[in-house]
């Protein structure tokens, strides 16, 4: 069982880190939250509302945004077009079918603005597939942010990044407004401790610890699990 | 930020102006065409325009949404039979036959799409093929309604009008202008759809459907919409062909017709809307041109297709893009 008897409650506006060794079920857990996977049993609530039966696109519309562990972009489309797809959906323009997309000025402005916020304005018209790994990671986040989610699931946002890129990413995440609740899967402990309000530790699909960073740091079970981890 | 948007704006204006001149020129040529060519060439032009509409309709589905249908002839043939049946039984008035074709093919697309779009990839291919072959089979057997393997002949050319004011597109030239009008409208309409946010959503589904779902798109609905639009325009093309030849045949529903339009798409370039038009021209005109030189024109056509798939998989439009890129690169290296 990839995720076994996991019970987690996250407060609005909280920054919750989900950590654990590889294979602990962290991404599977995210997939259950965003709707890509259905649980065999159990319930998921967003603000007291049960969302367990809802498919991914409906959960996204309720405000659950996510990034993916492996870049999940529109590689054949330009950076601009990638962000446009996210923004036009949020603006409710996505089903407009007889007016060219480029004539919607607020769409254009927001796309360029978001790209600039994430430092991608220089690559706006390049195909996403030609971006560097770090830039693609930034585009991943841009797509999730474009939805203005209430809950943002960040799956290893700094994976594969250089220290400089990681620092930039952490700064950006820390700068997100508190009306966005964050769940972050991370392996980099420095990132975890600089961002998290609370930490949940998963191991073989089960929660083995849950608390504020200081508690978790000293938890013997957690230390045992991480001993020997590179 | 201002620098980027102004650069974008300038590029757009340049492109739009160049395009407008091109289009104006083409329209002019198209308008005088009947008066400068022989009747046989006019017939060829009519065929090309009709298949261009058919090919553009499939491009919406295959090129833009990424749904590879091998049964698009279903809607082409359905349009053919609907107009034939209505014309023979009721009237040849476009004010009646066109809505019948549009409504009939839209309904069929809704029903077929409802089942087919639950599948994807190879299964979608098979389901669409099966649907078309099912219609073909009905057309062959239900002779009392469809004329069986002979099809329905004696279909009058369309007329348009109300009451005493009516015009019949009897002559080849007048029918050519009718088809040209349909083509120009289809081109304009599908271009608008493809450039709209909805059109971009279709591309998004083609590129990465999972991501589209994660962004909140109900991709099923978008695919259905694409399927219906594609079906309706294919039906209109089928209607025009039937009105041209005054005959609806079961071949219009057969998988070879689905295959032929796919070949037009690949040769022309999928996902471009212009490509299918060029592909339709090539596939309809090449046999005519070649058969004056050799009996083996089908072999040549087959070889041409294979060569395109191997060396120019993005079709004529792809070659054109590559040619333009090289031109730009040479410009840049010269600086």
CB pairs under 8 A between A and B: 108
Residue of chain A whose Cα is closest to the Cα of B199: A97
Mean pLDDT lowest for which of A224-228, B14-18, B233-237, B242-246? A224-228
Would you place residue B1 in the very low, low, confident or very high pLDDT band (cuts 50, 70, 90)?
A: low
* B197: contact with A, CB 8 A cutoff: yes
B303-313 pLDDT per residue, tens = 989 999 999 99
pLDDT of residue A71: 86
Taking the Cβ of residue A36 and every Cβ of chain B, the question of whether any pair is shorter than 8 Å is answered with yes
What is the band of A230 on the pLDDT scale with cuts at 50, 70, 90? very low
Higher pLDDT, B48 or A23: B48
Residue A192 pLDDT: 92
Q: What local confidence, expressed as pLDDT, does residue A69 receive?
A: 86
Alpha carbon distance B102, B302 (integer Å): 34
Above 80 in pLDDT, residue B15?
no
Residues in chain B: 335
Q: Chain B residue with minimal CA distance to A117?
A: B1
B207 touching chain A per CB within 8 A: yes
Structure tokens at B94: 């476009």
Does pLDDT of B273 surpass 50? yes
- List chain A residues with CB under 8 Å of B195: 100-102
* Partner residue facing A74 (CB), from B192, B204, B219: B204
B8 inside domain = no
**Predicted pLDDT at B289:** 84
* pLDDT value for B270: 95
Q: Evaluate whether residue B90 is within a structural domain.
A: yes
- Looking at residue A145, its pLDDT comes to 93
Percent of chain B exceeding pLDDT 70 equals 96
**What is the structure's pLDDT at A227?**
65
B159 within a domain of the structure (yes/no): yes
Cβ burial, residue B44 (10 Å; 0-12/13-18/19+): middle
Q: With 60 as the cut, is the pLDDT of residue B166 above it?
A: yes
Please tell me the predicted confidence (pLDDT) of residue B3. Answer: 59
Q: Is residue B324 part of a domain?
A: no
Mean pLDDT of B113-129: 95
Q: Give percent of chain B above pLDDT 90.
A: 79
pLDDT at B334: 57
The parent domain of residue B243 ranges over 41-254
pLDDT of residue A221: 84
Q: How far apart are CA B314 and CA B265, in angstroms?
A: 9
Read off the pLDDT of residues B220-237 as tens digits, 9 standing for 90 and up.
Answer: 999 999 999 999 999 999
Would you say residue B182 lies in a domain? Answer: yes
The CA-to-CA distance between both ends of chain A, in Å, stands at 25
Judge whether B129 lies within some domain: yes
B55 in any annotated domain: yes
Confidence band for A136, pLDDT divided at 50, 70 and 90: very high
Query: In chain A, what percentage of residues exceed pLDDT 70?
Result: 98
- pLDDT at A163 > cutoff 70: yes
CB contact under 8 A, A116 and B12: no
**How much is the average pLDDT of A100-109?**
92
pLDDT tens digits, B130-151: 999 999 999 999 999 999 999 9
Domains recognised in chain A with CATH numbers = 1-63+149-230 (3.40.50.300), 73-148 (no CATH)
Residue found under tokens 């620098």: B3
Query: What's the rounded mean pLDDT across residues B315-323?
Result: 92
B229 min Cα distance to partner chain A (Å): 11
**CA nearest neighbour of B109 among B82, B72, B81:** B72
Residue from the list A73, A77, A97 with its beta carbon closest to the beta carbon of B196: A97
B264 within domain boundaries: no
pLDDT of residue B332: 64
Contact status of A119 with chain B (Cβ, < 8 Å): no
Average pLDDT over residues A175-179: 90
Q: What is the pLDDT of residue B5?
A: 63
Q: Output the pLDDT for position B163.
A: 79
> Which of the residues B65, B118, B197 would you substitute to probe the A interface, choosing the one with the greatest number of A C-beta atoms within 10 Å?
B197
Specify the number of domains making up chain B: 1
pLDDT at B216 over 80: yes
Nearest to B274 by CA among B33, B34, B118, B64: B64
A98 at interface of B, judged by CB pairs closer than 8 A: yes
Task: Give the pLDDT confidence of A198-219 residue by residue, as tens digits.
Answer: 999 998 888 888 999 988 888 8
pLDDT at A48: 87
Q: What is the average pLDDT score of chain B?
A: 92
Residue A224 CB partners (closer than 8 Å, separation 6+): none
**Do B214 and A72 make contact, defined as CB atoms within 8 angstroms?**
yes
Calpha distance B300→B277 (Å, rounded)? 21
pLDDT band for position B329 (cuts 50, 70, 90): confident
């Amino acid at each position: 069982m990839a995720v076994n008897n996991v019970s987690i409650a996250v407060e609005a506006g909280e920054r919750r880190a989900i950590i654990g060794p590889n294979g602990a079920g962290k991404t599977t857990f995210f997939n259950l939250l965003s709707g890509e996977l259905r649980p065999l049993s159990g319930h998921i609530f967003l603000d007291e509302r049960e969302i367990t039966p809802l498919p991914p696109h409906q959960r996204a519309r309720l405000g659950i945004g996510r990034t993916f562990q492996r870049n999940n972009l529109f590689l054949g489309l330009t950076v601009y077009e990638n962000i446009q797809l996210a923004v036009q959906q949020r603006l409710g323009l996505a089903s407009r079918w007889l007016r060219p997309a480029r004539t919607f000025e607020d769409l254009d402005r927001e796309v360029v603005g978001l790209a600039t916020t994430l430092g991608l304005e220089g690559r706006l018209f390049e195909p996403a597939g030609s971006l560097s790994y770090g830039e693609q990671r930034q585009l991943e986040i841009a797509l999730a942010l474009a939805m203005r989610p209430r809950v943002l699931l960040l799956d290893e946002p700094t994976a594969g990044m250089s220290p400089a890129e990681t620092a930039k990413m952490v700064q950006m995440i820390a700068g997100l407004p508190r009306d966005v609740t964050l769940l972050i899967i991370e392996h980099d402990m420095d990132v975890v401790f600089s961002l998290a309000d609370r930490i949940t530790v998963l191991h073989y699909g089960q929660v083995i610890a849950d608390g504020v960073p200081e508690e978790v740091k000293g938890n013997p079970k957690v230390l045992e699990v991480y001993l020997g981890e590179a | 930020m201002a620098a980027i948007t102004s650069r974008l704006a300038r590029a757009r204006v340049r492109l739009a102006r160049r395009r407008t001149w091109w289009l104006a020129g083409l329209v002019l040529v198209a308008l005088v065409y009947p008066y400068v060519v022989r009747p046989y060439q006019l017939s060829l032009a009519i065929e090309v325009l009709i298949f261009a509409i058919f090919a553009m309709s499939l491009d919406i589905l295959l090129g833009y949404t990424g749904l590879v249908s091998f049964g698009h002839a279903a809607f082409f043939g359905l349009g053919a039979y609907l107009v034939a049946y209505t014309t023979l039984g009721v009237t040849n008035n476009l004010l009646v036959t066109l809505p019948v074709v549009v409504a009939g093919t839209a309904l069929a697309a809704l029903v077929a799409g409802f089942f087919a779009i639950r599948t994807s990839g190879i299964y979608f291919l098979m389901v669409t093929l099966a649907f078309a072959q099912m219609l073909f089979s009905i057309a062959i057997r239900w002779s009392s309604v469809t004329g069986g393997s002979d099809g329905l002949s004696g279909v009058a050319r369309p007329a348009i009008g109300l009451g005493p004011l009516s015009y019949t597109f009897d002559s080849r030239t007048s029918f050519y202008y009718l088809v040209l009008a349909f083509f120009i409208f289809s081109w304009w309409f599908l271009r608008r759809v493809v450039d709209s946010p909805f059109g971009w959503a279709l591309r998004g589904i083609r590129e990465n459907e999972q991501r589209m779902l994660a962004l909140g798109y109900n991709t099923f609905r978008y695919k259905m919409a694409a399927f219906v639009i594609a079906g309706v325009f294919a039906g209109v093309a089928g209607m025009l062909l039937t009105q041209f030849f005054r005959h609806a045949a079961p071949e219009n529903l057969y998988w070879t017709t689905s295959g032929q339009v796919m070949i037009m798409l690949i040769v022309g370039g999928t996902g471009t809307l212009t490509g299918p038009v060029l592909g339709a021209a090539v596939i309809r005109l090449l046999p005519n041109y070649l058969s004056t030189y050799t009996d083996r024109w089908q072999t040549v056509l087959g070889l041409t297709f294979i060569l395109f798939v191997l060396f120019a998989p993005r079709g004529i439009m792809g070659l054109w893009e590559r040619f333009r890129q090289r031109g730009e690169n040479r410009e840049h290296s010269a600086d």
